[in-house]
Structure formats: structure tokens, C-alpha cells
Structure 1
Amino acid sequence: MSAMSHEFDLAHATVLPPIGVGRRTLSEVDILTEQWEAVHEAAAAVGNLAQLGREALSPEIAELPLRAARMGGWRYETAARGIDDLAAVMQPGLRALLSLTAQGRDTTAAALTLWREFHAARRAILDTVGAG
């Protein structure tokens, strides 16, 4: 079994600024969008390790940061916190899986568990913002 190498690292994902009141600036929405995309890149790597492959994102999922920004208020704040929390879970989880893979260990079961946790957390974020 060859060790899978992946260059994914959430360390480059920008931490969101403290949440304020009022309309969001474009840069805040851009940061949220980048972080949302970064957790999905991590999920794609986990999906590969779980032998599931890459998930195609629906518009509902891909457009969540923009929808949250349009709604503003507590929905935006909750989505931003949820995405930040999701990134905090995915980074060490993926690093652990990649470390085990580098040692030649089978990570399928552990990756599937992280994959399921990712989807449950993402569903909670999506439910908070709503379908639009």
C-alpha cells in the first residue's frame, strides 16, 4: 500500500475576525467563503482516505457564506462560528489520518468516522442559515 500524500493544511485558512454588529464587509464574506472552501478541501481529502471519493457540492452548500451574509445578524454569526469550529476539528483530524497513512496503516474506518462528523456539523450549519 502506498502512502497517500496530501498538501492540505488549514493553517493557511484565515481565522475570522471578532463578530460585530451590522452589515458585513466584502472582505469578511471573502474570508468566510475561503474558510468554507478550505474545510471542503479537507473533507475531500478525508473522503479519499475513507475510499469514498470527492463529493460534488450543491449550490445550497457552495453558496452558504453568501446566503449567510445576506441574512446577517445571528444567522451570519452562527454560521461563521460553525465554520470556524468545523475547521478546528478537520485540521487535526486530517493530520492524524495523514500521519497514519504515512505509516502504512489503513485509515478507512477512522476517515469514515471523521467524514460522518463533518457532514453532521455541516448539516447543522446549513440548517442554521436555511435554504435561502
Structure 2
Amino acid sequence: MTSTSPHPAQSGSVDQRTWQALSLRWAALHDAAAAVAALAGLAPEVPEHAVRAFPGLARDAGARRFAAVEQGVADIAAIMQPGLAALLAVNARGQDARVPALALWQEFHAARAAVLGLVPAEGTSRRSA
């Protein structure tokens, strides 16, 4: 997938609208992950501070890192959207979706950890979460 960012990767700051769009996509991914967790029979995740604050940290890390984060978030969405649709279809047929849901949950966590690793975790966010 390609980045949908309207700013060039070499610019120094991130446009407010672009940052807000990433924040919304990040939240939507976690909503999807919560549905996957429920299908896997897992307790709801309580996101850590680093996860909640991540969009702001990505914004403050500069445009180059932000562009990499946007790509990573798009890649996670590309996994989660069809995966969740398939799980819902399995569940709608009355079949047990726990095992494939757990596999998607684990894939989400691994991909999210990789994206979180693109940005320093502490000390650069201009806003508090």
C-alpha cells in the first residue's frame, strides 16, 4: 500500500489534518483488534500509555518517520480488514472462529510492535494522552 500523506517525506513537520487522520486510523485499528480479541475469546486489551500516545509521538518525530508510520498503519489495516471480515463470516456460519482470531490477534500485535518501534517511545510528544 502507498502512503496517503499529502506532505512530502522530506518536509520537517506534519500537517495537522494528516496527523488527525492517522490518529483516527490508529483508533479504528484498535477497535478492529478489540473485535478480533472478542472472537478469540480474549479479555479486552487495556492499551498502555505508549500505544495511546503513539499518534502524537509519531507526529513529533518528524515527517520522515511519520511517513513510515503511515505506511505501517496502512499495512496493518490491509491485514486486519480482510481478516476481520473472514472471521465475521466464519462466526456468522456458526463455526468456531477462536483459533483463526487468535492468529490474527497475534499478527496484529507483532505488526503493531514493529510500527511502535519506528518512533521513540518517550519524551517527544507535545500533547499528553
Smaller-chain TM-score range? 0.7 to 0.9
Give aligned pairs, total. Answer: 118
Q: What's the C-alpha RMSD, in Å, of the aligned pairs? A: 1.3
Aligned partner letter, 1:31: A
Give yes or no for the alignment of 1:16 onto 2:4: yes
Q: TM-score scaled to structure 1, two decimals?
A: 0.84
Segments of structure 2 that go 5 or more residues without pairing to the other structure are: 123-129
Q: Residue 118 of structure 2 corresponds to which residue in structure 1?
A: 128
Give yes or no for the alignment of 1:44 onto 2:34: yes
Percent identity, aligned pairs only, is 40
Segments of structure 1 that go 5 or more residues without pairing to the other structure are: 1-14
In 1, are the aligned partners of 2:36 and 2:105 still within 8 Å (CA)? Answer: yes
Give yes or no for the alignment of 1:86 onto 2:76: yes
Give yes or no for the alignment of 1:54 onto 2:52: no
Q: Residue 76 of structure 1 corresponds to which residue in structure 2?
A: 66
Which of 31, 42, 45 is the aligned partner of 2:21?
31
Q: TM-score scaled to structure 2, two decimals?
A: 0.86
Where has structure 1 moved over 4 Å in runs of 4 or more?
A: none
C-alpha displacement at 1:74, in angstroms? 2.4
C-alpha displacement at 1:59, in angstroms? 1.3
CA–CA distance in structure 1, aligned partners of residues 7 and 44 of structure 2: 32
